[in-house]
């Protein structure tokens, strides 16, 4: 089903739930939100995420199948593996990825940035002999 134009998350959820797999084959970093939305929407514990190693989410969602989109044979093998993956393995992979997506939300991201700012301020204070920034 080709959906042209922007689709909001609520419109996409039923498609994510029906999908046997989600392929994010970016040639450079991108579409990380699509990968995470697929994982978050997969409450029926079925479906396989196939990611390009060039996506940022491939480093975070380690239970996805990661395949170089330039390697057509490996890509075909990954699609076959995804479509023939046993249901219990799909469930286990999705559960771990859902946990990761849940933990690494916008609040954790903001907290991490603020922690980095505090560390930099502390380092700056030390470099300036305790005189402050």
pLDDT band of 1, cuts 50, 70, 90: low
pLDDT confidence of residue 122: 85
Per-residue pLDDT reduced to its tens digit, 99-126: 999 988 888 889 989 999 999 988 888 8
pLDDT confidence of residue 33: 87
Higher per-residue pLDDT: 108 or 69: 69
pLDDT confidence of residue 58: 93
Residue partners of 41: CB distance under 8 A and separation at least 6: 12, 13, 16, 17
As a whole-number percent, the residues of the chain with pLDDT over 70 amount to 96
Q: Classify residue 49 as exposed, middle or buried by CB count within 10 Å of its CB (0-12, 13-18, 19+).
A: buried
Q: Say what the pTM is.
A: 0.79
Per-residue pLDDT reduced to its tens digit, 70-79: 999 999 999 9
- Whole-angstrom CA distances from 86 to 34, 71, 82, 96, 119 are 23, 24, 9, 16, 46
Residue partners of 24: CB distance under 8 A and separation at least 6: 31, 32, 34, 35, 49, 50, 51, 52, 55, 57
Distance in angstroms (rounded) separating the CA atoms of residues 38 and 21: 9
Q: What's the mean pLDDT in 75-90?
A: 97
Q: Is the pLDDT of residue 87 over 70?
A: yes
């Amino acid at each position: 089903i080709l959906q042209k134009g922007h689709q909001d998350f609520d419109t996409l959820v039923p498609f994510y739930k029906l999908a046997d797999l989600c392929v994010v084959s970016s040639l450079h970093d991108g579409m990380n939100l699509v990968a995470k939305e697929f994982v978050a929407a997969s409450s029926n514990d079925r479906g396989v995420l196939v990611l390009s190693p060039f996506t940022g989410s491939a480093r975070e969602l380690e239970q996805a199948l990661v395949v170089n989109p330039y390697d057509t044979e490996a890509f075909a093998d990954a699609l076959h593996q995804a479509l023939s993956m046993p249901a219990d393995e799909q469930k286990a992979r999705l559960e771990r990825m859902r946990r990761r997506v849940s933990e690494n939300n916008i609040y954790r991201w903001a907290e991490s940035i603020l922690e980095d700012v505090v560390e930099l301020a502390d380092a700056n204070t030390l470099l300036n002999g305790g005189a402050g920034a």
